[in-house]
Structure 1
């Protein structure tokens, strides 16, 4: 497979999404009477999914058809303008900024569709067919979302996300077409790893936000150290797998990587929010217990699925490994449910889980 390197423009493009990810994570910090209200959990998902899909759309185009041509640079720079519009419109009070958000999102998706349609005139054979298929289908999704401008109240959002869902599902339904022009697995893994690194950075920011500089505040210092070890363990497990344990020569549509990372990225935001909420003691014990363990379970399942398919045969985990990981996590959860323990103990348990997870998946 042709070697494809991540360009500096792609890295610059990623930086714009740092603010978007931070905004989505901040939604989870809205606590009412000791709970994150279900409305905020829903808003988190509704904000996060368009961010992920907008970034994914451009990344997948570059992966299959990207070359350092002048017109592709211009397209990407124009997309950055729409990214800025979309990010500036992300808010818990979505109604107030809806139209500017819609302009940003539709602009991004429309430009991606146009890029594919441009490429169909420059390609031949299967590559031409795939470019036409994706350009037309993504155009349909963007048009459906655009129709939301003619509606009010909840109907507006239903139409918007119906278009987004169509956008997301159509590549899955078109698998038989996309498999003719396989993705560059090495480039795709590198791109998602870089975005994942941004969310690990968000977790570190959460630690810095709760670290108190007062003299003798050993609880804060210890909590921060344990949190940092937890994040380092997660980082070690993820990036050692990407670097050493997966076969980057495997060819396919890359859909396991793409859709699996939606849940990896969302769970990382949830874990980052959990760190801050546990330190600040703003949520009920039972709620945070379900929330943080649910976030870790989601991360574990998503990373296991993504990496299992691409692992070298000799490095693939056995069923008893799955039992060990799930058993460890379940044991900690049940113990904490039976008797109330300090949040710093919960952080220690999760840190131990990720150390075990890293140990067995990277050696």
Structure 2
């Protein structure tokens, strides 16, 4: 009897039942949430630093930008996890890539966004995170014909948001280069 070498590594993803109740979060999802808590803590510490220096308007604006970035990425992951629960090797490898993007945001990007007004690293972390999030939505579109249109819209939305961040960085760098 032959076994399928892909079984367990790549499963067909079907949408979760909207009638499902009391689903608990997986350990991987809880770890992902914890990583986002670290990013929010980093942003909060940076906000505290700007407020302590008396730079209220700039600090609040930067915090709002960073927090929105963090919150939106976390919400998109949560929406996917609520819609699908593949729990296979492929998915378990994609989530740590998203976590890596979140930690790049936290460890290197947030501080630079506040202190140096540099968005390159935070954008890099966001691109890593968002690319790894668009892939499962595309995978869901391939697997789930009933929800294919929604999955494709979600993947497109994630990609367009990511492109917007890259464009913002590009436009900002052109503006600063011309005004120097």
TM-score when scaled to structure 1? 0.39
* Closer/same/farther in 2, CA of residues 142 and 28 from structure 1, 3 Å limit: closer
2:41 pairs, out of 22, 30, 33, with 22
Q: 1:108 aligns with which of 129, 132, 141?
A: 129
Alignment of 1:217-236 (within 5 A): none
**Distance in 2 of aligned mates of 1:153 and 1:69:** 41
- The residue correspondences of 1:129-140 to structure 2 (distance < 5 A) are 129-140=149-160
Q: 3-state DSSP class of the match of 2:123?
A: helix
- 4+ long deviations beyond 4 Å: 153-156
Q: Name the SS for the 2:117 alignment partner.
A: helix
Kindly report the root-mean-square deviation, in angstroms, between the aligned alpha carbons of the 2 structures: 2.2
SS in 1 for 2:24: coil
**Separation in structure 2 between the aligned mates of residue 37 and residue 116 of structure 1, nearest angstrom:** 39
Alignment gaps of 5+ in structure 1: 157-363
Give the paired residue count: 153
Match of 1:77 in 2: 96
Distance 2:170 2:47 in 1: 30
Cα deviation 1:32-62 (Å, max 9, x = unaligned): 68x5521111111111111111111111111
Quick check: 1:57 aligned with 2:76?
yes
In the TM superposition, residue 83 of structure 1 has moved relative to its aligned partner by: 1.4
Paired residues for 1:30-179 under 5 Å: 30-31=50-51, 37-88=56-107, 89-91=109-111, 92-96=114-118, 98-125=119-146, 127-152=147-172
- Asked which structure has the greater RCO (Cα within 8 Å, sep 6+), the reply is 2
**Distance across 2 between alignment mates of 1:31 and 1:146:** 28
Higher Rg of the two aligned structures:
1
Question: Does the 8 A contact of 1:117 with 1:136 survive in 2?
Answer: no
Confirm or deny: 8 A CA contact 2:110 2:122 kept in the other structure. yes
Q: Normalized per residue, which structure has more helix?
A: 1
Query: With structure 2 as the length reference, what TM-score do the two structures score?
Result: 0.75
Unaligned runs of 5+ in 2: 1-18
Shift, 1:153, TM fit: 5.2
Task: Say if 1:6 and 1:154 are closer, same or farther in 2 by CA, change over 3 A.
Answer: farther
Which secondary structure state, in structure 2, belongs to the residue aligned with residue 67 of structure 1? coil
1:143: Cα distance to partner?
1.6
